[in-house]
Amino acid sequence: MIFMPADLDLPEESLCPDEPNTEEYNQVDPCTLDCFPDHSYPVDLYRWRESAGTLSPIYRCGAEVHTRLRGTLYALSEAGKLFFSRNQIRAYTECLSRNLDAALDDPNLTWNEKSHVLIESLGQRQQAMFQQPMPQELDNLDRIVETLCLYLIEDSTRMRRVVHHVHCTPLAARQRLNAALMALAIFLECEGEPVPLERMHPVGLGFFLFDIGMSRVSRMLSDKKSMQLVPSEQRRVQEHPLAGFEIAGRLNLVNPEIVEPIIQHHERLNGTGYPNRLRDRQIGKLGRIAGVADSYVAMITDRPHCPARPPLHAAAEILKQDKVYDQSVARKLVRLLNAVPSVAS
């Protein structure tokens, strides 16, 4: 069994967090053990045997963790002698996403893995908000969006890692999360210069909430192809930006940076959008960005009625539709994609 310490500066190309690497093991931090479920841990664990100079198995994932074993594992962890295999990094980080602060402070995770944990947590909070758009869920989402903003402000190149993650998992279940992340990435690309927290935070929250009105639309309707909808169903779906506006008002979200993407993300420059058939300058920059991000992510997502397109093909399609989408925003999308090697290749 070979032990190798984690490489804290993995190249961009190795960003997918679940890529197997049969030869790497990481220490398990005591805070991480606190994040694991009480009775059963999600990864195999190994103890470092000084005398033999090797790792040996001490726990098989899924087995019951009784009190004595828990104490032993905790003591080993505190002594820096407890390890997990990086082959199980996905299960490890998914657990950590329930305690983001511990994950971001975990010295055993690379920045790429921390990005993954952060994105998983964002997805969970966003989903909770969409399931129940209430003040408590909004607070939770707001806090984690602020953490994301701070994370991006600390190092502007991290946005590329986030964009990489979007393209690692272009799944229908993640479409809403991916659209929010892409909107924020395009916004930062449009700004071109460092954006302070007091601006990035409300803009980011607006992007995570722009489709909140869909929480009022039944799953049966939202899953239907638009051509299959009868007029009354189509009207109901097309009213979702208004429903989102109403939800935002109920939650005292009146900041234009939050409201604009919610009410305008389906408006189109030629007046073919909804709900208000706005045209050209009537649509704000954040509404245009949300519209481009929403359409782009829909195109790269594999859906039952529509197979996914390659990222640059989807961006080219948006660029071609110059009567519909803001071309300066579309060009920033292309520039952004070209800056992420794994996406552009």
Q: Which stretch binds Fe ion (CB under 5 A): 124-132, 207-215, 250-258, 317-325?
A: 207-215
Instruction: Considering the complex, state which of residue 120 and residue 211 has its C-beta at the smaller distance from Fe ion.
Output: 211
> Do residues 293 and 183 lie in contact, with contact meaning Cβ atoms separated by under 8 Å?
yes
Side chain identity at residue 29, one-letter code: D
Instruction: Considering the complex, state which of residue 173 and residue 344 has its C-beta at the smaller distance from Fe ion.
Output: 173
Instruction: Considering the complex, state which of residue 74 and residue 274 has its C-beta at the smaller distance from Fe ion.
Output: 274
Q: Which stretch binds Fe ion (CB under 5 A): 79-87, 209-217, 285-293, 334-342?
A: 209-217
Q: Give burial (CB, 10 Å; 0-12/13-18/19+) of 221.
A: middle
Instruction: Considering the complex, state which of residue 189 and residue 211 has its C-beta at the smaller distance from Fe ion.
Output: 211
Instruction: Considering the complex, state which of residue 65 and residue 263 has its C-beta at the smaller distance from Fe ion.
Output: 263
Q: How many residues bind Fe ion, per CB under 5 A? A: 1
Would you call 111 helix, strand, or coil by DSSP? helix
Residues forming beta bridges with residue 26, ordered by sequence position:
84
Longest alpha-carbon distance in the chain? 74
Q: Which stretch binds Fe ion (CB under 5 A): 54-62, 84-92, 121-129, 203-211?
A: 203-211
The yes or no reply on residue 267 touching Fe ion (CB under 5 A) is no
Q: Which of 44, 120, 137, 211 binds Fe ion (CB under 5 A)?
A: 211
Q: Smallest gap, in angstroms, from Cβ of residue 174 to Fe ion?
A: 16
Instruction: Considering the complex, state which of residue 117 and residue 293 has its C-beta at the smaller distance from Fe ion.
Output: 293
Q: Smallest gap, in angstroms, from Cβ of residue 90 to Fe ion?
A: 30
Q: Smallest gap, in angstroms, from Cβ of residue 294 to Fe ion?
A: 6
Closest-by-Cβ residue to Fe ion is 211
Q: Smallest gap, in angstroms, from Cβ of residue 165 to Fe ion?
A: 22
In Å, what is the CA distance from 215 to each residue of 105, 245, 247? 34, 12, 10
Helices 135-154 and 175-191: angle between axes, nearest 10 degrees: 40
- Give the residue ranges of DSSP H helices in the chain: 30-35, 67-78, 89-96, 100-105, 111-131, 135-154, 158-168, 175-191, 197-209, 219-222, 231-238, 240-250, 256-264, 285-300, 311-320, 327-338, 341-344
Tell me the C-alpha distance between 311 and 293, whole Å: 12
User: Any idea which residue has 């234009």 for tokens?
Assistant: 256
Would you call 56 helix, strand, or coil by DSSP? strand
Per-residue x/- marks for Fe ion, 156-195, CB under 5 A? ----------------------------------------
Q: Smallest gap, in angstroms, from Cβ of residue 23 to Fe ion?
A: 45
> Residues interacting with Fe ion, by CB under 5 A?
211
